């Protein structure tokens, strides 16, 4: 007599605790081992691109916060840069510095959330609250800067909405002094923990070629050992003025391009961001922060594509103007959507527990996938 | 083989040892929680910065009825009705409603306000039982719009309100405060 | 128990010629009720509060601090809340098994208390196979958990149940093997016998008597954590993977039963290790009054157990969760061989020094203290590095 076995179809999400928002995966599993995991996107689609065609150039700025709510500064910046290129506006230098400062703080906050939830998905609750504690302090700073903690709406077409408040620079530098040594503690707590390394190393290995073929961007691409950072390679804003490195995966804990590499790239990127922030805060020039832009901004007919290195990688903003006060078409290209396309391939042969690791290591954010 | 076997054991013990030391050191640190809403020395609303974008409020005493906020609002949550009083030839505001259930607290309305009349407060506790109560009606009966005086304001009742409003407006980056933007060819 | 009942019968409390067996049974019943309802369940509840508080402080939070002094009554509030909730049973489940599973788990949690050696006289039944009885009845949990996972008719629950079965069955082996070094040293399986073979001083405890028993104590603790489904081995209820594992479909009182058993099991884990390796209730003989001595012994025993419970809470606040294949490889590749070596090593040690080596305990103790001192230095290092003023102000 032979025992009949069959594949088990598991439905993971959209209300699963570790799917980071509303994602859904249909898992075909043989016991603990997955045959494949089929991602199902679209639960958070809010037609943000279509809304842009109705609310005009200035009015779309708050909506960009919702494209990627964990790192809203970059979506702000992408949209502002697209409009500036359409309208031929030059941002004052102080404005650019304010943008870089806000954006790099946001990058740290976003990566903190990513590495914190990574720990939580692996089962350690303490690193998450430690990361969130640090993120709260950044949120306090950003709140003082622009009045909101999540949906910043800080940038405007032609600069930023608010100048740095008095005394803010000192607070920010004091925070960085606190933040830099925290990493030794955080790494001792979780990053070098043997169980953690074992869970992450050699899981979800993406070869350099695969990462390029599947169009991965940001830390996911750099984790596979390919050095590609828009801030360095297609410089925008005032990034060429700063001295910073682009960390890439080294495969020190396992194979090149595994989950641990992506995790370590994020941790090292936070230090680089801190380096940029110190330079920017010390060197910020005087002057206006906002260029003069008419209230009814009507750029000449044309199209443009800008690229921003968001915390989830190369974010493309494509805008078409027909000369009216409303954009004719807006499209956002985000890193999370490309990363979702890779999950099906990577999930084959992994265990169910590894899928959670994989999603967390790719750092997908549900609203960024669907927009 | 044997090296990696015992190396694994050693790694596990030393790294777990360090991790336990970190958590133990947190046992003797202070917690970072703000025990909202009751066990806090000051109300959270009072600790928030002036730029905080809480529930919108309108000072009708200094509202010029220019409709800049209504035009700037991307979701049309502000409804203003202004008509011209035939007898006094002044602007009469007969309706100024803000639907705070719709409002997304973006701050685009308070930016173009010339006097800082419409501004975000640090108040954020807005829960209520009906959607109807979410619509804040600021004009109980038609009121004349504020007309900025030529030169400095002289009305002693208006001066503190206007000062507060201008302080709020001055937080925003003043467009082109030094030089106009250069056009790229 | 029997002496107490006999003396009361002799005083004529139950009439002239009472049915003795019935009275013994009544005594055992009443005492069990006191132990289960008065000690086991409140203990499980209080541990839940301790765990949440300690855990919270490790995470820079406050934890439950509103109900009662410092939130001490939180466990009562939670228990009451769970009892008041609706008892939901999924439509396509197996209702009989679904309802029965929590009782089986709670049974596996209450049975070991029968041989719990609180002090030299406070023990319900000093079985001559006490430790064997304890390990066998605690393994009943697996049946309850598997039953819960199967009866829920939910795939996440099923995976949780199967994981639990695989885990508990595997870890029985290193746990069982690590018990034997202590049994070899004491020459008995009785709980009281093992404790009596040790003294009150740390250098007379089995844990420090030779290097093999020290490792055995650690292996036993790790295996016991795995059997109790505690982090880093909480795979059956892995929150981030399996929603809530075998307890996904449970709510209300039945859910409470599972978690009361989980927290209560911590006491049992601590008690086993305290008995076997840490000298149990042993306390220096400072009084001839039996009541005083019993109370002191009770306190000693509980302090040791609670310290071990604290360590498990602390570990839970620190470590991530292992994967199922790593769980198995840890058991079969590391713990099982190590515990075999321990067993053989202890046997050899006893063969070489039948009456015990007089130097080894001191060396072991010195090593242990060196580890503790190193550890405290690391704690102070991390404490000093933190910028306290940033922690003390709620807003920067």
Q: List pLDDT tens digits, range A40-88.
A: 888 888 888 888 888 888 888 888 888 888 888 888 888 988 888 888 8
Asked whether residue C226 is domain-assigned, the answer is: yes
Q: What is the mean pLDDT of residues A118-127?
A: 85
For an interface test with C, which of A32, A123, A138 has the most C Cβ atoms less than 10 Å from its Cβ? Answer: A123
- Closest-CA residue to B73 (of A61, A227, C271, A194): A61
pLDDT at C227: 83
Q: A202-211, B5-14, B119-128, B148-157 — which is least confidently predicted?
A: B148-157
CA A144 to chain centre: 22
pLDDT band at A314; cut points 50, 70, 90: confident
> What share of chain A has pLDDT > 90, as a percent?
1
Q: What is the mean pLDDT of residues B46-62?
A: 84
Please give the model's pTM, rounded to 2 decimal places.
0.86
Residues of chain A in contact with residue C55, where contact means CB-CB under 8 angstroms, are 125-126
User: Is the CB of residue B168 less than 8 Å from the CB of residue B121?
Assistant: no
pLDDT of residue A124 exceeding 70: yes
Non-local (6+) Cβ contacts of B13 within 8 A are: none
Residues of chain B in contact with residue A61, where contact means CB-CB under 8 angstroms, are 106, 108
Between chains, do C378 and B21 touch, taking CB under 8 Å as contact? yes
User: Is A167 an interface residue toward B (CB < 8 Å)?
Assistant: no
Closest residue to A288, CB basis, from B72, B177, B184:
B177
Between chains, do B181 and A158 touch, taking CB under 8 Å as contact? yes
pLDDT at C116: 81
* C contact set with A (CB within 8 A): 55, 58-61, 155-156, 159, 162-163, 231-232, 234-235, 238-243, 317-326, 382, 385-387, 390, 395-396
Non-local (6+) Cβ contacts of A13 within 8 A are: A19, A22, A23, A24, A25, A40
Q: What is the mean pLDDT of residues C64-90?
A: 84
Per domain, the residue ranges of chain B are 48-148+158-171
State whether the Cα torsion C55-C57-C59-C61 is positive or negative: positive
pLDDT at A88: 85
User: Is A18 an interface residue toward B (CB < 8 Å)?
Assistant: no
Rounded to whole angstroms, the Cα distance separating B14 from C378 reads: 12
pLDDT of residue B182 exceeding 50: no
Q: Tell me the average pLDDT of chain A.
A: 85
pLDDT at C13: 66
pLDDT of residue A173 exceeding 60: yes
Query: A194 to chain C nearest CA, in Å?
Result: 9
Q: What is the mean pLDDT of residues A124-147?
A: 86
Torsion of CA C35, C41, C42, C44, to 10 degrees: 120
Could you confirm whether domain A48-338 is CATH 1.10.645.10?
Answer: yes
Residues of chain C in contact with residue A16, where contact means CB-CB under 8 angstroms, are 243
pLDDT band at C2; cut points 50, 70, 90: low
Rounded to whole angstroms, the Cα distance separating C70 from C63 reads: 9
Q: Tell me the average pLDDT of chain C.
A: 82
H-helix or E-strand spanning residue A28 = strand A24-30
pLDDT of residue C272 exceeding 80: yes
Q: How many domains does chain C have?
A: 1
- Closest-CA residue to C191 (of C113, C135, C127): C127
Rounded to whole angstroms, the Cα distance separating B104 from A152 reads: 11
Q: What is the mean pLDDT of residues A109-131?
A: 87
Q: What is the mean pLDDT of residues A219-243?
A: 86
Closest residue to C324, CB basis, from A16, A120, A353:
A353
pLDDT at C319: 87
């790593």: which residue's tokens?
Answer: C326
Asked whether residue C109 is domain-assigned, the answer is: yes
3-state secondary structure of A295: coil
Selected residues 149-168 of chain B with any CB under 8 Å from a CB in chain A? none
pLDDT of residue C5 exceeding 70: no
Q: Which residues pair with B93 in a beta bridge?
A: B82, B143
Find the residue in A nearest to B51 (Cα). A147
pLDDT of residue C136 exceeding 80: yes
Asked whether residue C77 is domain-assigned, the answer is: no
User: Is the CB of residue C365 less than 8 Å from the CB of residue C202?
Assistant: yes
Q: Report which DSSP code applies to A309.
A: E
State whether the Cα torsion C212-C319-C390-A310 is positive or negative: positive
Q: Which residue has the higher pLDDT, C105 or C124?
A: C105
User: Is B55 an interface residue toward A (CB < 8 Å)?
Assistant: no
pLDDT at C237: 75
Non-local (6+) Cβ contacts of A74 within 8 A are: A68, A103, A106, A107, A308, A309, A310, A311, A315
pLDDT of residue C205 exceeding 60: yes
The C-alpha angle with vertex C254 and arms to C302 and C59, in degrees rounded to 5, equals: 55
Structure tokens at C210: 């030779």
ipTM of the complex: 0.81
pLDDT of residue A240 exceeding 70: yes
Structure tokens at C277: 């390796």
pLDDT in tens, B143-155: 777 777 777 777 7
Asked whether residue C190 is domain-assigned, the answer is: yes
Closest residue to C385, CB basis, from A31, A181, A351:
A181
- Closest-CA residue to A157 (of C355, C143, B147, B175): B175
pLDDT in tens, B14-46: 888 888 888 888 887 777 777 888 877 888 888
Find the residue in C nearest to B47 (Cα). C395
Count of A–C CB contacts within 8 Å?
102
Rounded to whole angstroms, the Cα distance separating C182 from C195 reads: 10
User: Is A241 an interface residue toward B (CB < 8 Å)?
Assistant: no
pLDDT band at B184; cut points 50, 70, 90: very low
Q: Which chains touch C (3 or more CB pairs under 8 A)?
A: A, B
pLDDT of residue C147 exceeding 70: yes
User: Rounded to the nearest 5°, which phi and psi values hold at A261?
Assistant: -65, -45
pLDDT at C388: 52
Between chains, do C240 and A124 touch, taking CB under 8 Å as contact? no
């996440």: which residue's tokens?
Answer: C156
Find the residue in B nearest to A326 (Cα). B74
pLDDT band at C391; cut points 50, 70, 90: very low
pLDDT at B180: 36
pLDDT band at B173; cut points 50, 70, 90: low
pLDDT at C137: 86
pLDDT band at B185; cut points 50, 70, 90: very low
User: Is A293 an interface residue toward B (CB < 8 Å)?
Assistant: yes
State whether the Cα torsion B66-B68-B71-B73 is positive or negative: negative
Between chains, do C319 and A124 touch, taking CB under 8 Å as contact? yes
pLDDT at A1: 66
Q: What is the mean pLDDT of residues B153-165?
A: 78
- Closest-CA residue to A158 (of A205, A96, A66): A96
Q: What is the mean pLDDT of residues A302-307?
A: 88
pLDDT of residue B175 exceeding 60: no
pLDDT in tens, C377-386: 888 888 877 7
Range of the domain at C314: 86-353
Put residue A31 in one of left, alpha, beta given phi > 0 → left and psi -120 to 50 → alpha: left
Asked whether residue C375 is domain-assigned, the answer is: no
pLDDT at C161: 85
Q: What is the mean pLDDT of residues C154-181?
A: 86
Asked whether residue C33 is domain-assigned, the answer is: no
Residues of chain B in contact with residue A136, where contact means CB-CB under 8 angstroms, are 32
pLDDT at C19: 74
pLDDT band at C392; cut points 50, 70, 90: very low
Task: Please give the full DSSP string across chain B, using - where no structure is assigned.
Answer: -HHHHHHHHHHHHHHHHHHHHHHHHHHTSPP---BTTTB-SS-HHHHS-TT---SEEE-GGG-----HHHHH-TT--EEEEEEE-TTT--EEEEEEEEETTT-----TTTTT-SSS-EEE-S------S-SGGGEEE--SS-EEPP-PPSSS---TTHHHHHHHHHHHHHHBPPTTSSSPPPBP-
- What topology does CATH give the domain B48-148+158-171? Alpha-Beta Plaits (3.30.70)
pLDDT of residue A25 exceeding 70: yes
pLDDT in tens, C316-341: 888 888 888 888 888 888 889 889 89
């Amino acid at each position: 007599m032979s025992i009949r076995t069959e594949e088990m179809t598991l439905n993971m999400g959209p209300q699963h605790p570790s799917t980071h928002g509303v994602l859904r995966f249909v898992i075909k599993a043989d016991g603990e081992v997955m045959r494949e995991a089929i991602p199902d996107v679209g639960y958070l689609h809010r037609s943000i691109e279509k809304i842009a065609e109705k609310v005009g150039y200035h009015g779309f700025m708050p909506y960009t916060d919702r494209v990627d709510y964990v790192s809203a500064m970059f979506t702000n910046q992408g949209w502002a840069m697209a409009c500036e290129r359409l309208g031929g506006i030059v941002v004052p230098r102080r404005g650019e510095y304010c943008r870089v400062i806000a954006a790099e703080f946001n990058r740290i906050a976003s990566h903190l959330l990513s590495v914190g939830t990574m720990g939580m998905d692996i089962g350690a609750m303490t690193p998450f609250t430690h990361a969130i504690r640090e993120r709260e302090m950044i949120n306090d700073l950003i709140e003082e800067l622009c009045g909101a903690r999540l949906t910043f709406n800080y940038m405007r077409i032609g600069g930023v909405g608010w100048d740095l408040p008095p005394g803010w620079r000192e607070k920010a530098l004091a925070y960085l002094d606190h933040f830099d040594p925290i990493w030794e503690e955080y790494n001792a707590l979780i990053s070098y923990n043997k169980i953690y390394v074992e869970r992450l190393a050699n899981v979800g290995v993406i070869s350099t070629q695969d990462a390029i073929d599947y169009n991965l961007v940001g830390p996911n691409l750099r984790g596979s050992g390919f050095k590609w950072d828009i801030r360095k390679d297609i410089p925008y804003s005032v990034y060429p003025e700063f001295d910073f490195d682009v960390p890439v995966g080294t495969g020190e804990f396992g194979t090149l391009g595994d989950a641990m590499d992506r995790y370590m790239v994020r941790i090292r990127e936070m230090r680089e961001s801190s380096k940029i922030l110190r330079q920017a805060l010390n060197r910020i020039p005087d002057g206006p922060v906002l260029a003069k832009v008419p209230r009814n901004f009507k750029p000449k007919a044309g199209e443009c594509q800008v690229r921003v290195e968001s915390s989830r990688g190369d974010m493309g903003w494509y805008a078409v103007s027909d000369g009216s006060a409303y954009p004719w078409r807006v499209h956002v290209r985000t890193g999370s959507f490309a990363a979702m396309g890779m999950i099906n391939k990577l999930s084959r042969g992994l265990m169910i527990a590894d899928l959670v690791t994989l999603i967390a290591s790719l750092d997908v954010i549900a609203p960024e996938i669907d927009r | 083989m044997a090296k990696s076997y015992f190396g694994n054991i050693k790694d596990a013990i030393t790294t777990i040892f360090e991790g336990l030391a970190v958590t133990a050191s947190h046992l003797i640190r202070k917690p970072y929680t703000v025990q909202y809403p009751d066990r806090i020395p000051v109300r959270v609303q009072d600790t928030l910065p002036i730029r905080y974008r809480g529930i919108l409020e309108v000072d009708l005493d200094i509202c010029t009825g220019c409709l800049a906020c209504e035009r700037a609002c991307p979701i049309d949550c502000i409804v203003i009705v202004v008509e011209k009083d035939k007898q006094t030839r002044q602007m009469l505001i007969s309706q100024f409603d803000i639907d705070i259930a719709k409002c997304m607290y973006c701050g685009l309305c308070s930016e173009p306000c010339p006097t800082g009349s419409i501004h975000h407060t640090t108040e954020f506790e807005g829960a209520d039982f009906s959607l109807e109560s979410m619509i804040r009606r600021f004009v109980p009966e038609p009121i004349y719009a504020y007309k900025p005086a030529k030169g400095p304001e002289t009305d002693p009742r208006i001066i503190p309100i206007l000062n507060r409003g201008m302080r709020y407006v001055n937080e925003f980056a003043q467009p082109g405060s030094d030089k106009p933007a250069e056009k790229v060819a | 128990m029997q002496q107490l009942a006999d003396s009361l019968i002799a005083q004529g409390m139950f009439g002239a010629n009472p049915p003795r067996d019935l009275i013994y049974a009544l005594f055992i019943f009443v005492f069990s009720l006191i132990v289960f309802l008065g000690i086991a369940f409140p203990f499980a509840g209080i541990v839940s509060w301790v765990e949440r508080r300690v855990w919270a402080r490790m995470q820079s939070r406050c934890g439950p601090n509103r109900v009662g002094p410092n939130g001490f009554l939180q466990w009562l509030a939670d228990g009451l809340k769970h009892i008041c909730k609706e008892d939901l049973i999924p439509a396509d489940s197996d209702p009989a098994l679904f309802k029965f599973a929590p009782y089986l788990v709670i049974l596996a949690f209450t049975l070991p208390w029968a041989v719990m050696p609180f002090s030299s006289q406070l023990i319900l039944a000093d079985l001559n196979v006490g430790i064997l009885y304890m390990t066998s009845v605690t393994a009943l949990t697996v049946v309850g958990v598997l039953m819960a996972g199967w009866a829920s008719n939910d795939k996440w629950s099923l995976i949780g149940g199967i994981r639990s079965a695989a885990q508990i069955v595997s870890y029985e082996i290193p746990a069982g093997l690590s018990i034997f070094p202590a049994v070899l040293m004491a020459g008995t399986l009785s709980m009281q016998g093992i404790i009596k073979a040790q003294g009150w001083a740390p250098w007379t405890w089995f844990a420090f008597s030779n290097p093999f028993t020290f490792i055995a104590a650690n292996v036993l603790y790790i295996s016991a954590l795995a059997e109790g489904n505690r982090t880093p081995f909480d795979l059956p209820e892995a929150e981030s993977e399996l929603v809530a594992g075998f307890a996904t479909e449970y709510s209300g009182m039945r859910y409470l039963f599972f978690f009361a058993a989980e927290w209560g099991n911590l006491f049992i884990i601590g008690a086993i290790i305290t008995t076997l390796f840490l000298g149990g209730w042993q306390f220096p003989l400072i009084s001839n009054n039996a009541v005083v001595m019993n109370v002191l012994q009770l306190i000693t025993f509980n302090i040791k157990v609670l310290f071990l419970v604290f360590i498990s809470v602390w570990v839970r606040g620190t470590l991530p969760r292992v994967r199922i294949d790593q769980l198995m490889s840890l058991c079969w590749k590391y713990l099982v061989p190590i515990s075999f070596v321990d067993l053989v090593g202890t046997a050899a040690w006893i063969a070489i020094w039948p009456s015990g080596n007089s130097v080894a305990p001191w060396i072991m103790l010195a090593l242990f203290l060196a580890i503790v001192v190193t550890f405290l230095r690391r704690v102070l290092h991390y404490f000093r590095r933190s910028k306290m003023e940033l922690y003390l102000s709620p807003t920067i």
